[in-house]
Amino acid sequence: MIEIYTTVIFLFVLFALLGGSVWIGLALMGVAWVGMELFTLRPAGDAMITTIWTGASSWTLTALPLFIWMGEILYRTRLSEDMFRGLAPWMRFLPGGLLHTNIAGCTIFAAVSGSSAATLNMVGKMSIPELRARGYPEYMIIGTLAGAATLGLMIPPSLTLIVYGVTINESITKLFMAGVFPGLVLAGLFMLYIVGWHFLGTGERPQQEPRLSFGDMIAESRFLLPIFGLVVVVIGSMYMGFATATEAAAVGVLGALGLSLMQGSLGWRTFSESLMGATRTSAMIAFILMGAAFLSLSMGFTGLPRALAGAIDSFNLSPIALIAVLTVFYLILGMFMDGLSSVVLTMAIVEPMIRQAGIDVIWFGIFLVVVIETAQVTPPIGFNLFVLQGMTRHEISYIAKTAIPMVGLMLVMVGILIIWPELATWLPDNIRGQ
**What DSSP character marks residue 152?**
G
In order of 114, 320, 415, the CA distances from 419 in angstroms are 26, 10, 6
Alpha helices in 242-267 (DSSP H): 245-263
- H or E, element range at 160: helix 159-168
CB atoms within 10 A of CB 272: 10
Q: Which residues of 10-25 are buried (b: 16+ CB within 10 A; e: fewer)?
A: beebbeebbeeeeebb
pLDDT for res 221: 75
**pLDDT averaged per 10 residues in sequence order, the chain, 434 residues:** 65 75 78 80 75 69 76 72 74 82 84 72 78 85 88 81 85 87 92 89 65 72 78 77 78 85 81 85 75 74 65 74 86 70 77 85 92 79 72 81 90 92 88 54
φ and ψ of 136, to 5 deg: -75, 145
Q: How many residues does the chain have?
A: 434
Does the pTM of the predicted model rise above 0.85? no
Closest CA to 335 of 288, 369, 383: 383
Residues 6+ apart with CB under 8 A from 379: 335, 385, 396, 397, 400
φ and ψ of 395, to 5 deg: -65, 145
Closest CA to 93 of 211, 218, 205, 224: 211
Cα 386 off chain centre by: 16
- The Cα–Cα gap between 94 and 144 comes to 15
pLDDT for res 192: 94
- The Cα–Cα gap between 233 and 213 comes to 31
Q: Is 426 left (phi over 0), alpha (psi -120 to 50) or beta?
A: alpha
Q: By three-state DSSP, how is residue 379 classified?
A: coil
pLDDT for res 186: 93
Q: Decide if 103 contacts 148 (C-beta within 8 A).
A: yes
Q: Which residues of 330-350 are buried (b: 16+ CB within 10 A; e: fewer)?
A: bbebbeebbbbbbbbbbbbbb
Q: What are the extents of the domains in the chain? A: 2-430
pLDDT for res 3: 57
Q: At what angle do helices 361-376 and 339-356 cross, to 10 degrees?
A: 150
φ and ψ of 57, to 5 deg: -100, 15
pLDDT for res 313: 63
CB atoms within 10 A of CB 257: 18
